[in-house]
Amino acid sequence: MTIKIAIIVGSTRPGDDGNGGGIPRKGGDVGRWVYEAAAKRGDAQFELVDLAEIDLPMFDEPFTPMMARYTRPHTKTWSQVVARFDGYVFVTPEYNNAPPAALKNAIDYLYAEWTNKAAGFVGYGAFGGARAVEQLRSMMGELQIADVSAQVGLGLHTDFEDFQYLRPAPHQEDALTDMLDQLIAWARALAPLRAHNRT
């Protein structure tokens, strides 16, 4: 069985406006760094999923996600994207001690598509996105997602040149490897539960 992992970039901030204004968005670079390292592994398949490209509106379904009675085309498309994976790496910045609203909104859209999967986290920010990750961890149990203990925290002072350009310290690759090892092991261990739910 091939384990499939989505690397979900949680920032939708546009950054540079094309005229030299704004600070370049970091989420895409962080997501690509995770993907390029993960793609070298032979124990899973990885795909980059950027919420800036998914472009979900704020939750607009008339029924609770637990009912899976989706009425909006964008919800049905998002459901199909999430459902095809066995686990997720959530790449999150930290806004006001929390993950961005776009990431929470994307998670809140669905329920059954997340359950009995595994999750790992790559945070970034002044404190490595630690507080944003902690809030995401508190959501995982409610969705029946097994979140792994190893995580990556990229600091603006230590892993970004001029606070903008991603230059991870050497130890961050080891941290990423540890997190992916745990994530894939848990995604594989939960496969029987996912199979049971599909029958």
Q: What span, in angstroms and rounded, lies between the C-alpha atoms of 148 and 181?
A: 10
CA angle 72, 14, 111 (to 5 degrees): 35
The model's pLDDT over 166-179, given as tens digits with 9 standing for 90+, comes to 999 999 999 999 99
- The mean pLDDT value for 107-132 works out to 97
Q: For the domain 4-12+24-198, what is the CATH code?
A: 3.40.50.360
Q: Tell me the backbone φ, ψ of residue 185, rounded to 5 degrees.
A: -60, -45
More confident residue, 24 or 187: 187
Per the confidence metrics, is the pTM higher than 0.85?
A: yes
Amino acid at 52: A
At residue 24, the pLDDT reads 75
Residue 126 pLDDT greater than 60, yes or no: yes
Q: Residue 22 has what pLDDT? A: 65
For the chain, the domains span 4-12+24-198
- By CB atoms closer than 10 A (0-12, 13-18, 19+), residue 127 is middle
Quick one: what percent of the chain has pLDDT higher than 70? 95
Using an 8 Å Cβ cutoff, are 148 and 183 in contact?
yes
Residues present in the chain in total: 199
Cα angle 108, 139, 51 (rounded to 5 degrees) comes to: 45
Phi-psi region of 153 (alpha: psi -120 to 50; beta: other; left: phi over 0): beta
Q: What percent of the chain has pLDDT over 90?
A: 88
- Mapping DSSP onto H, E and C, the string for the chain reads CCCEEEEEECCCCCCCCCCCCCCCCCHHHHHHHHHHHHCCCCCCEEEEEEHHHHCCCCCCCCCCHHHCCCCCHHHHHHHHHHHCCCEEEEEEECECCECCHHHHHHHHCCCCCCCCEEEEEEEEECCCCHHHHHHHHHHHCCCCEEEEEEEEEEECCCCEECCCEECCCCHHHHHHHHHHHHHHHHHHHCHHHHHHHHC
